[in-house]
Structure 1
Amino acid sequence: MSILFTKPSFNLSRRDVVAMKPYPLQFKPVLKQTIWGGRLLGERLGKPIGDESDYAESWEVVDHGVDQSVVTSGHLEGKTLKDLLTEHNEWLMGDAANDHFPLLLKYLDCNRVLSVQVHPTDEYGATMPVPDLGKTEAWYIVDAKPGSVIYAGLKKGVDASALRAAVEEGRAEEVLHQFEAKPGDCVFIPAGTVHAIGAGLLVAEIQQSSDTTFRLYDWNRTDASGKGRELHIEQSIEVTDFERGPVAPIRADESADGWQTLVECDKFRLRAISNGSDTVGGDNRFHIITVPQGKATLVTDSERINLTAGNSILLPAAHDAVTLELENDSLVLTMT
C-alpha cells in the first residue's frame, strides 16, 4: 500500500506517518426525521433509529455546514469530513482537491410522497442570500412497493404558464411525467428538473453537497391547523429547465459482470456492480462506495472489510485500488 506524503517543513514523527496512511473510511450516519419518513432505514439498512416512525434520510457521506460525517474507526476516529479536508486535503481528494467535499450520499425512506421540487444550478445558487451549490442528483431505487410512482420531468409541451396554472389550481400532477418505479431503476435529475419521489420507495441518492431546494407543490397537504408548508413557486419556475421534458429510468444489465456506468455528468459518475468482483480506486481520486442490498467484501492488501446492506465507505484518493467481492443477489454502487 502506498503512502502519500505532503511536503512538510519539519521531520515527520512515526505518529505523523501513521496518521497519513490511507485506509477505507467509515462514518456515523446523520439521521433526519421529517413527515414523509418511516422505519425502513433501521429495519432494512441497519441505521440506529429510535422509536419514532418518521426517519426519512440517512446522510452517509456529508460535508455541509453543521452536517458532518464523523469517522468511526482507525487513527482518524472522531475526525469530521471537514477536518480531513483541512488537514489532509490532497490525501483525501487527490486530483479533485477542493476546500469542500462536493458530493453527498444519502438513503431515503419515502413512506409518504415527497413534495414536488426543483433545484437550481451552481450559477443560480451562488446568487442566493445564503450562497450554496446547485443540486444535480441521481436516485437508485433499492426497493419499491407495487404501484409506487416517480415523478421526473414535465410532460412534453408544458411551459412556464402551464406549470404555474397547474400549481395554483392544485393539479400539478397533471403536468408531471410519471412512471411506476421498480427496484434497480436509476433516475438522473440534473439541476432544473421538476421532480418528486412517490410513497413506498427506498432510495439511495447521490447529489451535489447542497441543501438548496425550491418547493413547487405539496399535494395540497395541510397541518392540523389547516396551514400548508411554504412554497417557492416563483423561484421554482425561474430555475426550471423547460427543455428537459420527461425523464426515463436507466437500468443496468443485471447479468453483466463488472462495473456499469449508470450516470456520468460534470458533477459525478455513478457506477453499479451486481455480479462477481472488480476493483475500484488507485486513480488518485476519492471514491464513495455503498451497498444498497446484499453483502460484499472490500479487500485491501492488509484487511478484508465485510459490508452489509446500508454500509458505506469513503476511499481516500491516496489509497491503492481495492477489490470488491459480491455475494449472490447483492449490489454495490460507487461514486466519484
Structure 2
Amino acid sequence: MSDRIPLPPLVFAPLLKRIRWGGRKLGNVLGKPIGDESDYAESWEVADQDGNESRVASGRLAGISLPELIATAGESLLGTHVGMNQFPLLIKYLDANDWLSLQVHPNDFLARQYGSRERGKTECWVILQADPGAKICCGLKRGVTTEQLQTGLEVAVSDPSSHLLEDLLHIYPVEAGDCVFVPAGTIHALGPGILLAEIQQQSNLTFRLYDWGKLGSDGQPRPVHIQESLTCTDFARGPVFPVVAQQLCDPEHGFEELVRCEYFVVRRHTSLHPFSLLSDGRFRILMTLAGSGTVDTSTGAEALVQGGTVLLPACCERIRVRPGERLQILEITCP
C-alpha cells in the first residue's frame, strides 16, 4: 500500500469491553453487537493500544489494523500529523449502569514515568442520555488538600457509611447534551444512568482511588493506587463544570465548538439539511449521536448511523454531510 494511496472513509469494528459497571445500552440504544450479558461498559470505536487495535470492519481494507494503516499509508491517513507512530486519540462510547471507580489520570510528564510510549489522559464527555437525577463527580471542592483527601479515603474504607469523602468531591447532576472537559489530573467518576461519547488522548493509564466497596468480575476488590493518584491529582483545579459551548456558523449552518485544547477539538453539528465540513489536510472523526445520513467525500461515501463512528482520512476532500433526518454528529480533529 502506497503512503499516498487515497483512503476511503473508514469504519472500524467496535472493541467491546465488559466491566462490572456496564449495562445493555451499547446494544439497545447504539446498536452494538453485544451478547446476552448485562455488563457491557465500553465500545472502543477508534483505538491504537497494544492488544486493542481497531481493524477496518468492511470493504477492500477489511481486517487491516489502524497501526498498519499508519505504517503503510500514514500521509494519506494523518495528513499534517504524519510522522506519528501511534494514532493520537482514543474514541469510545460508555454505558454507566453503576458508579465507576473514583479515578484520576496523569498528565504527559507524569505518564512517561510509567513507560516511554505512555501519554497522559485528558478527555471529554458528551452526554447522550442521562436518567433523571444521574450524577457525575468531576473535580474536588475548592481548597481540598492532599491530607484531607487522604483522610477521606481512609475513612471511606474503614466506615463505608461515612460521607466524609463525598463531601470533598464535586458531585452534580447532568443531562443529555452536556459536555464535560476533564483535563489530566482531575479526579472524576461517572454515576449510574449515563450513556456518553468519550474523546481522549490515546492512553489507558488510570489510577483508582476508591471503588465504592464494589467487587470486580472475579468477586474480589479491584486494586487501588492511592499514592500514584495523589501524585497525579491537580489540587489547584477545584470543581469542574460542564462547558459553555461556543456558537459558530458558516454560510450553510450553525454549529457548536464544545472543546478546544492542545490534544483535540470537538464540534457538534445538528442539522436537517446538507452541509460541508472543512478539508484542511487533517483527519476527522465523526460520531453520530442521533439520526442518520451519509457523508460523501472525494474518496468515497459512508453511512452515518446512530452510535456509529467514521474516521475520515486526511486525504478526503469535498466532505459533504447529507442528513436523512435530523442528524447530530460530533466532529473531532487534532489541532
Normalised TM-score (structure 1)? 0.89
2 CA distance for matches of 1:146 and 1:93? Answer: 41
Cα deviation, residue 291, structure 1: 0.3
1 CA distance for matches of 2:171 and 2:148? Answer: 17
Instruction: Confirm or deny that 1:305 pairs with 2:290.
Output: no
For the Cα contact (< 8 Å) 2:299–2:316, is it kept in 1?
A: no
Identity percentage of aligned residues: 43
Match in the other structure for 1:166: 152
Residue of structure 2 aligned with 1:238, choices 231, 251, 255? 231
For the Cα contact (< 8 Å) 2:18–2:41, is it kept in 1?
A: yes
Cα deviation, residue 255, structure 1: 11
Moved more, 64-73 or 302-311: 302-311
Residues 110, 88 of structure 1: alpha-carbon distance in 2 compared, 3 angstrom cutoff: same
2 CA distance for matches of 1:102 and 1:131? Answer: 12
Instruction: Confirm or deny that 1:210 pairs with 2:203.
Output: yes
CA deviation digits over 1:90-116, x for unaligned, max 9? 111111121110101000010111001
For the Cα contact (< 8 Å) 2:247–2:254, is it kept in 1?
A: no
Residue of structure 1 aligned with 2:180, choices 181, 187, 192? 187
Cα deviation, residue 233, structure 1: 0.8
Match in the other structure for 1:9: none
Q: Give 1:72-221 correspondences, 5 Å limit.
A: 72-97=57-82, 98-128=84-114, 131-170=117-156, 171-221=164-214
Matched position secondary structure for 1:37: strand
Ranges in structure 1 where 5+ consecutive residues have no aligned partner: 1-15
Matched position secondary structure for 1:274: strand
Match in the other structure for 1:286: 283
Match in the other structure for 2:159: none
2 CA distance for matches of 1:55 and 1:221? Answer: 17
Q: How many residues align?
A: 321
CA deviation digits over 1:196-241, x for unaligned, max 9? 0110000100001111000011112246998522111111010101
Residue of structure 1 aligned with 2:29, choices 35, 38, 44? 44
Cα deviation, residue 297, structure 1: 2.0
Match in the other structure for 1:264: 260
2 CA distance for matches of 1:305 and 1:258? Answer: 23
2 CA distance for matches of 1:223 and 1:303? Answer: 44
Residues 247, 65 of structure 1: alpha-carbon distance in 2 compared, 3 angstrom cutoff: same
Residues 242, 333 of structure 1: alpha-carbon distance in 2 compared, 3 angstrom cutoff: same
Letter in 2 for 1:229: R
2 CA distance for matches of 1:224 and 1:286? Answer: 37
CA-atom RMSD in angstroms = 2.3
For the Cα contact (< 8 Å) 1:254–1:274, is it kept in 2?
A: no
2 CA distance for matches of 1:138 and 1:255? Answer: 20
Match in the other structure for 1:228: 221
Matched position secondary structure for 1:42: helix
Letter in 2 for 1:166: G
Matched position secondary structure for 1:109: strand
CA deviation digits over 1:171-220, x for unaligned, max 9? 42211112111000000001000100110000100001111000011112
CA deviation digits over 1:6-63, x for unaligned, max 9? xxxxxxxxxx679912210011000000100111001101101111111100000011
Cα deviation, residue 326, structure 1: 3.2
2 CA distance for matches of 1:42 and 1:331? Answer: 19
Residues 167, 282 of structure 1: alpha-carbon distance in 2 compared, 3 angstrom cutoff: same
Cα deviation, residue 307, structure 1: 1.4
CA deviation digits over 1:219-275, x for unaligned, max 9? 122469985221111110101011111111125489974332100001111111112
Match in the other structure for 2:45: 60
Ranges in structure 2 where 5+ consecutive residues have no aligned partner: 157-163
2 CA distance for matches of 1:83 and 1:18? Answer: 11
For the Cα contact (< 8 Å) 2:247–2:256, is it kept in 1?
A: no
Letter in 2 for 1:320: E
